[in-house]
Amino acid sequence: MNYSRIIIGAGFYGLYAALVCGGQGHKTLVLEADGAPFARATYINQARVHMGYHYPRSLSTAKKSRDYFDRFVEDYGFCVHSTFEKIYATSAAFSWTNTDQFMKFCADAAIPYEPVPAGRYFKPGMCDGAYLTTEYTYDAALLRDHLLEQIAKNPDIEIRCNAQVTAIERTGGAYTLTCAGGAAYSSDFVLNATYASVNQILAMLGEDPFPIKYELCEIILCQAGEELRNRGITVMDGPFFSVMPFGKTGLHSLTSVTFTPHLTNYAPLPGFGCQSHCGGSCTPQLLGNCDSCAARPETAWPYMSNLAKKYLRDELGFTYESSLFSVKPILKASEIDDSRPTVIRRHSSDPTFISVLSGKINTVYDLNEVLTDG
């Protein structure tokens, strides 16, 4: 079957691209390996709408986040939780930044911050600075429902779930994508928006992989106590933690730099030890969904909660609810400055094959450029 546009991956970037293409009148197909859209990275992350505070070592990433922040909140405000107190703090020990540097960074990036007493949130001596900031969290389920609603209104857009791409072939002026089960689709414009699977798709195409490392990550969802409920707290910049509202779910997400990644792989394709006992649903060539996998790791709750408890005043309590697992690709170049660039790579034109890799929700607008000029 022939389409004007084929998008691999029904995460936020995939569905956003589908709406843009469909809006231009292109017959668009979205191929999703899982049973439903938004089953992996778009849902399984800290759900942060970045303003830039997170990148005190990369002013460029911070500025870009800030620029897109308002636009995202305007476009998708219905799924954004903005009425909580968001605290950033710099750890007294081991931090790559300190209170003076962090304030200078905020001023340079032109993002708002207001110093507050660290003792209001943290145990004595743990943090040397705390700031009230403007940062929000999005609700992936609400965002998904909104996008699906929009897509349903446009008969040119079609989403196929349970359609894992297993082979890609370039034949003449088009790419033909074969899915598990044998169905084949072709188009002269393909967008690879598969995030953690980006190199797996490129391998089918024989293209060079992105230089990434993979981390199998755990996001812990917890019930925040009374004092923490309307607050989000992130300790910077090093082996620390973040506990903040998880969209509008009423739960908080808990993550830590040290304990959120359970397994790390530096090879071009995501091979993990757990794949040998997952029952064949996941291989380095075709990544399964970690969250529904029987072989997913045991929770690191004792570690993450203890780390947070070490910093937070005892009044700011929380209890375990559940865990979410997914694989996160990290560009190797970003280790030193911890930047999170959005990388868009055009592998061919006529027929067109484009890959996008981004770890942030609000930089989705970077896609517009490649989608409009086709």
Partner 1 sequence: MDKTGGILNKEKNFVSAVVYLRNDEQRAGDFLRALARVLSDNFLSFEIICVNDACTDGTIAAVKAAIGGDVVTSIVHMSHYQGPEAAMNAGIDLAIGDFVFEFESVSMDYDPGLIMEVYRKALTGYDIVSAAPKGRGKLSSRLFYLLFNRYARVQYALFGESFRVLSRRAINRVHAISKTIPYRKAVYASCGLKVGSIQYPKKGAARSKNAGAKRRELAVNSLILFTDLGFSLAKWLTAIMILMTLFFGGYTVAVYLSASPVPGWTTTMLLISAGFFGLFSILTVIIKYLSILTNLVFIQQKYIIEGIEKL
Site for partner 1 contains 277 (CB under 8 A): no
| Cross-strand bridge partners of residue 2 | 186
Site for partner 1 contains 365 (CB under 8 A): no
Q: Where are the alpha helices (DSSP H) in 134-289?
A: 140-152, 198-205
| Cross-strand bridge partners of residue 155 | none
Residues 6+ apart with CB under 8 A from 77: none
Binding mask 37-66 for partner 1 (x = CB under 8 A): ------------------------------
- Residue 349: strand, helix, or coil: coil
Among 306, 322, 368, 372, binds partner 1 (CB under 8 A): 306
Site for partner 1 contains 280 (CB under 8 A): no
Does residue 263 contact residue 280 with C-beta atoms inside 8 Å? no
Q: Where are the alpha helices (DSSP H) in 47-128?
A: 59-76, 99-109
Site for partner 1 contains 319 (CB under 8 A): no
User: Shortest distance, CB of residue 82 to partner 1, whole angstroms?
Assistant: 31
How far apart CA 13 and CA 357 sit, in angstroms, is 9
Q: State the number of CA atoms in the 13 A half-sphere of 116 facing the CB.
A: 16
User: Shortest distance, CB of residue 265 to partner 1, whole angstroms?
Assistant: 14
Peptide bond preceding 302 in cis form (omega within 30 of 0): no
Does residue 11 contact residue 37 with C-beta atoms inside 8 Å? yes
Among 23, 209, 238, 284, binds partner 1 (CB under 8 A): 238
User: Shortest distance, CB of residue 273 to partner 1, whole angstroms?
Assistant: 9
Among 1, 36, 93, 107, binds partner 1 (CB under 8 A): 93
Distance linking the first and last C-alpha atoms of the chain: 20
Site for partner 1 contains 307 (CB under 8 A): yes
Q: Which is nearer to partner 1, 240 or 353 (CB)?
A: 240
- How many Cβ atoms are within 10 Å of 126's Cβ, its own excluded? 19
Site for partner 1 contains 123 (CB under 8 A): yes
Among 94, 172, 173, 182, binds partner 1 (CB under 8 A): 94
**Which range in 124-132, 229-237, 339-347, 365-373 contacts partner 1 by CB under 8 A?**
124-132
Site for partner 1 contains 35 (CB under 8 A): no
Q: Which residue has the tokens 């061919």?
A: 348
User: Shortest distance, CB of residue 256 to partner 1, whole angstroms?
Assistant: 9
**Interface residues with partner 1 (CB under 8 A)?**
93-94, 123-126, 238-239, 258, 302-303, 306-307, 309-310
